[in-house]
Amino acid sequence: MSFRGFAPHFGIISIRLRAWLAGFFLIGAGASMRAELVGHWTFEAEAELVDLTGNWGELELRGATVADGHLNLGSNEWALAQSYTGPTIREKTLVTWLRMEDLNVRNGAPLAIDHPTSDRFDAIVFAERQPLRWMPGSSGFQRTQDVMSFDETELEPELVQVAITYADAN
C-alpha cells in the first residue's frame, strides 16, 4: 500500500461510537521495512490539532471537539487529517488510547487510515461483527480477523490502549 503522492486521508471516524481519545499515533514501514512514526497527535493545549511528526496537515474537526487534552467523539462525529507528505506507508500499526462512554454501541472506529482514490481502508473498529469486541477493520473485511477473546466490560471505564498492525497489502 503506497500513499506517497496520493495524499491519503487519516481519519478518526466515529459512526456510532461515543468515546474520547487521549492520543493516537501511526507507525508505518515503507520499502526499506524500517518502521518509523509517521503520525502522532496528543491533543495538548496549543497543538490540539497538530501532527507532531509534521507529516500530516492539521486535523479538521467534523463535529468532534477537543477539550482538556482529549478528542471527544460522538455519534457521527469525526476528524480528518489530509495533505500527507511523509514516507511511503506499506505496513502500518494504528495505536490509540481511549475511553468508551457506552459499550453497547455497534460499528464504531476511533482510528482509521484510508486512501482517497482507491479502496484501501484500515481501522481500529469496535463491535462491528461481534458485540464488545475490538477488531481490525478493512475494506470489505479483506484484512479482518476476529481476534479479541476477553470481555471488554471488564475495562470499563478505564482508559485503554488499542493497537492493530497491518502487513503490506501487496
Residue 49 resides in a domain: yes
Residue 2 lies in a domain: no
Hey, which residues does 155 pair with through a beta bridge? Answer: none
- 127 in a structural domain: yes
Q: What is the pLDDT of residues 46-81, one digit of tens each?
A: 999 999 889 999 999 989 888 888 888 887 888 888
Is residue 4 in a domain? no
Q: For residue 1, give the nearest of 164, 100, 134, 117 by alpha carbon.
A: 117
Number of domains observed in the structure of the chain: 1
pLDDT average, residue stretch 91-105? 83
**pTM for the whole structure:** 0.79
Q: Is the pLDDT assigned to residue 87 strictly greater than 80?
A: yes
**Structural domain span for residue 143:** 9-166
Tell me if 3 is assigned to some domain. no
Residues 114-118 have a mean pLDDT of: 75
Q: Pick the range with the lowest mean pLDDT from 10-19, 109-118, 133-142, 143-152.
A: 10-19
Please state, in angstroms and rounded to a whole number, the distance separating the CA atoms of residues 170 and 168. Answer: 5
